[in-house]
Amino acid sequence: MITGQFCRNCFYKWYKEAATELGEDITLEQAQEIIYGMPYADYKARYQTPASPEKLAALKKIHAAE
């Protein structure tokens, strides 16, 4: 996600906003499930690990350039 300069959290929020603009009535939770492929709590429990110092430094560098 660092390469694309956005994260899944931004992506599901954009997805929900676009769906709303197109007349689809979905919740943030539904958008999360579409983007993550499963309920968000399940995704976090299964895949989310703490970011390494290297990843945090790379993300900080990207946001500092904005």
pTM of the model: 0.65
DSSP 8-state secondary structure symbol assigned to residue 22: T
CA atoms within 13 A on the CB side of 44: 5
Domains of the chain: 8-65 (1.10.3340.10)
Mean pLDDT of 9-13: 86
Per-residue pLDDT reduced to its tens digit, 12-64: 999 999 999 999 999 999 999 999 999 999 999 999 888 899 988 988 888 88
Could you give the C-alpha distances from 30 to 19, 26, 38, 39, in angstroms and in order? 11, 6, 9, 8
Query: How far is the C-alpha of 1 from the C-alpha of 8, rounded, in Å?
Result: 8
